[in-house]
Chains A and B, each alone.
Chain A
Amino acid sequence: MQNILNVERISKSFPGVQAVDDVSFGLRHGEILALIGENGAGKSTLVQILGGVQKAEAGQIFLDGEPIAFASANDALQAGIAMVFQELSLVGGLSIAENIFANRQPVGALNNIQWRSLYQQTQEVLHRFNLDLDPATLVKRLVMGQQQILEILKAITTNPKVLILDEPTSSLTQAETAALFENIRALQSQGMSFIYITHKLGEVFELADRVMVMRDGKKIDILEVAEVSENDLVSRMVGREIGDIYGASSADLSQDEEYFRVEGFAAKSSFQNVSFGLRRGEILGLAGLVGAGRTELARSIFGIEPRDSGQVVLEGEAIDIKRPQDAIEHGIAYLTEDRKRQGLFLDMHVAENLIAPLLNMFTRKTGFLNFPEVEDHAVNQIERYGIATPSTKQKVLTLSGGNQQKCMVAMWMGLQPKVVLFDEPTRGVDVGARFEIYQKLRELTSQGIGIIMISSELPELIGLCDRILVMHQGQITGEVLKEDFSEELIMSYAAGIMNQ
């Protein structure tokens, strides 16, 4: 039987990274193909090309035997490929009906919307999917789960030949997920084909016919779901060489006591029941897939995001952190994963950035800043952290990614913190700067500073950390000690397959 979709040698690159590398595969008529891979494997870019949102640089795509070249998402929609993104595209101020049939409302001769027909069609769609909702309800009155289902209905009502779903169940309850799966199977039996991206391997086995694994932009394998095991999938998702740029761990930690403890942290939609301790000089890794709740947890510890419950104990004292200022006063530093938008002041110069969390330290009694001291401090930090910049007055915007990151590190280390929360330390950083950052982290630990490091790169975690905690959907599913480090093991915890 001919494939509904034939993808041949598709490639796409962005500055600095080959997002999709010579990928070829076929989607059979009426099949549900699961697409899995680590963060950054290229899954989203690939489906965006299929959906007309991005253009491929090389390769061919055939829909039902015909070659296609989409200029826009609308083209793809007309041809029969619909996409459901993770980010919602609904308009809160409009009704369910007008969202499902966005810009496709039935109209009369004067371009006037035929409301009865619209509401009727909407009611039918809602009914078919067992949703007890009034088509006139404004979308902003619905909960996230319902909105996500609407997003899917929006695509389904265009009667596509191929429906691409990107992690559709991330905000759905168990019941909503089950209902969704029933509907997908029903549509499948009517001839619709699906590409289903998910991080939850359990869903692959529940729903899909075949599964395709991607890694580093390449297609690794495409297998019949009935013929694989979870471990087969995990080992294919992972599988990279670990070089030795991580250096050696600081001296023997076994005697060191726990000096920082997080107990019973919970925040309704992000994480529950998180407790762990940190020893002096330890690098504790926090692994997990996107959406596992690691960043939310770190931000909550630091006082940026509220939490429902939880206690922080530092050096034996229970400390109350309600705002970042509290955390900073107690010597806790948080380095964000999004340095450009949340970490640095791109339009200001290096010196100004370096003192940002330390303004009090450089303010005289009169309230004026002590510029000579600021300058001295900046010069010192630039040297200590090897920030490549012609002067202290250089705008941070002009620095390379690696140097920007070093700048952010220097900024926070000026605080002389006791605990460092580091979110994605080497995202967007070249190899050379990575090495330097790893060295600096080792230096800090040798001074007794404990580091909690969130990272999506397994080799980095395994190379640097003394211990790794793994989170899955807001809970800690595993604690892996150094002697047991293995990518497969960590991935299993991260995907929720294993749970201690």
Chain B
Amino acid sequence: MNSNNGDLLSRFKQLAALREFIMVVVIIVFTIIMSLATPIFITWLNIEAILMALSVEATIAVGMVILLISGGLDLSVGSTLALVGVVTGLVLVVGVSAVPAILIGLLAGLGVGLVNGILIAKMKINPFITTLGTMITVRGLLLILAKGRAVLNLPDAFTVIGQGRLFGIQYPIFVLTFLVIAGDLLLRNSRFFRQSYYIGGNEDAARLSGIDVDLVKIFNYCLVGVLAGVAGLLLTARFGSSSVTVGSGIELRVITASIIGGASLNGGEGSVLGAFLGALFMGMLANALNLLGVDVYYQNFITGLILILAVVFDVLNERRKLSQ
């Protein structure tokens, strides 16, 4: 281990063992194969389409993966996404200007996160049941607020964030890039954010180490709520109207992306980069299947297979390492 060669080799082995590295390799290989199958795949137009579709799921994934790492779970993100879209839409049509409207919308997202966080952290109710409950309740709430119909004709001052461009690249892609980079940097380097790893790894020990477990948990749920709100705003701005049905089922895709990217449902593992790569891969897959003219139903089938494969691979890998 002292010679330079041995050091380099072991560092490479450590790198190769990282889920993120494996994902990057898989994505590169996939890109090469796909671009040979259909040259459209690699055009800027197509890449932009992938990234735009990605901007919603990946934005939420940034928060979801941090939550998963701390041992939590949030099934209500789809409903929160739609709620924020509706709240902002309703506020805009009565004449409130864009920026305050956005803030009010995000506040609604924060509110949902706060409710989840307090029920789960303080009252110790199971996250699955709690967020299942808020998922249903919030969906009902937004239907009530929107009186069951979409909110149409939103002002340009707002829709520009979903449809406008900066240097030729659409705004949502900037938001996505910023969130992924900021999220990954924070989760890797901020002592506060890394507390989630300790909590997910061993909650009692985390408490004994002086970590304010309840505070971190509530923070995480609020973060996910706000990010779901951001995703909702991007989506609403893009389409120019607040849909009441949007977001259903997105929670499972976001969780899947996080797990493919290395997170574990038990907590203590995962990364923002990994979650992004997981979402990217899922997005590329959907896009590729579309280009190849494959039935849309196959997408779910294949995504599910990949999720199972990722988890089985993980389990086998751990067993192999333990028996060494």
Contacts and interface: CB of A to CB of B under 8 A. Distances in A.
Interface string B1-23: 10000000010001000000000
Nearest to A75: B210
A73 interface: yes
Contact of A74 (B1, B198, B209, B318): B209
A103 B208 contact: no
Contact of B201 (A74, A94, A111): A94
A110 interface: yes
B268 A91 contact: yes
A102 B209 contact: yes
Nearest to B7: A134
Interface string A70-106: 0011100100000000001111111000100011010
B318 to A, nearest CB: 8
Given A74-B209, A103-B195, A91 B202 contact: yes
Interface stretch (B37-45, B105-113, B185-193): B185-193
Contacts of A107: 191
A186 interface: no
Nearest to B188: A113
Contacts of A110: 190
With a 10 A CB-CB cut-off, give which of A77, A89, A107 has the most chain B CB atoms: A89
A479 B274 CA distance: 58
A353 to B, nearest CB: 27
B27 interface: no
A141 B321 contact: yes
Interface string A34-54: 000000000000000000010
Nearest to B205: A89
A89 B197 contact: no
Interface in B108-136: none
B91 to A, nearest CB: 34
Given A74-B208, A113-B189, A92 B194 contact: no
A89 B321 contact: no
Contacts of B192: 111
A190 interface: no
A102 to B, nearest CB: 5
Contacts, number: 69
B269 interface: yes
Instruction: Tell me the interface secondary structure of chain A in the complex.
Output: loop
A132 B209 CA distance: 26
Contacts of B189: 112-113, 115
A103 B201 contact: no
Interface in B188-225: 189-192, 194-195, 197-198, 200-202, 204-206, 208-211
B191 A93 contact: no
Most chain-B CB neighbours within 10 Å: which of A89, A102, A103, A141? A102
A136 interface: yes
A105 B211 CA distance: 13
Nearest to B10: A134
Nearest to A94: B197
Interface residues on B, range: 20 to 34
B197 A73 contact: no
A140 B268 CA distance: 11
A464 B271 CA distance: 58
B234 to A, nearest CB: 27
Given A91-B198, A91-B202, A94-B197, A73 B191 contact: no
Instruction: Kindly name the residue among B1, B194, B211, B321 whose own CB sees the greatest number of chain A CB atoms within 10 A.
Output: B194
A90 B202 contact: yes
B207 to A, nearest CB: 8
Nearest to A78: B210
A72 B208 CA distance: 8
Nearest to B262: A93
A89 B202 contact: yes
Interface in B272-324: 318, 321
Interface string A365-385: 000000000000000000000
B190 A73 contact: no
Contact of B198 (A77, A103, A111, A134): A103
A68 to B, nearest CB: 17
A93 B190 contact: no
Contacts of B268: 91-94
A103 B14 contact: no
A93 B194 contact: no
A112 B186 CA distance: 8
B202 A113 contact: no
Contact of B191 (A89, A111, A141): A111
B210 A105 contact: no
B201 A73 contact: no
A102 B198 contact: yes
Interface string B259-272: 00000100011000
A132 B10 CA distance: 14
Nearest to B268: A93
A93 B201 contact: yes
Interface string A124-154: 0000000010101000110000000000000
Contacts of B195: 103
A141 B189 CA distance: 22
Contacts of A136: 14
A73 B208 contact: yes
A77 B198 CA distance: 18
B190 to A, nearest CB: 5
Contact of A98 (B1, B194, B205, B321): B194
A103 B210 CA distance: 8
Interface string A386-398: 0000000000000
Interface in B81-102: none
A74 B210 contact: yes
A334 B311 CA distance: 35
Interface string B222-248: 000000000000000000000000000
A113 B190 contact: yes
B201 to A, nearest CB: 3
A88 B189 CA distance: 25
Nearest to A106: B191
A267 to B, nearest CB: 15
A102 B194 CA distance: 10
Contacts of B202: 88-91
Interface of A: 53, 72-74, 77, 88-94, 98, 102-103, 105, 107, 110-113, 115, 132, 134, 136, 140-141
19 contacts: A74-B208, A77-B210, A89-B202, A89-B205, A90-B202, A93-B197, A93-B200, A93-B201, A93-B268, A98-B194, A98-B197, A102-B209, A103-B209, A111-B190, A112-B189, A112-B190, A113-B189, A113-B191, A115-B189
The 4 closest A-B pairs by CB, nearest first: A91-B201, A89-B205, A74-B210, A93-B269
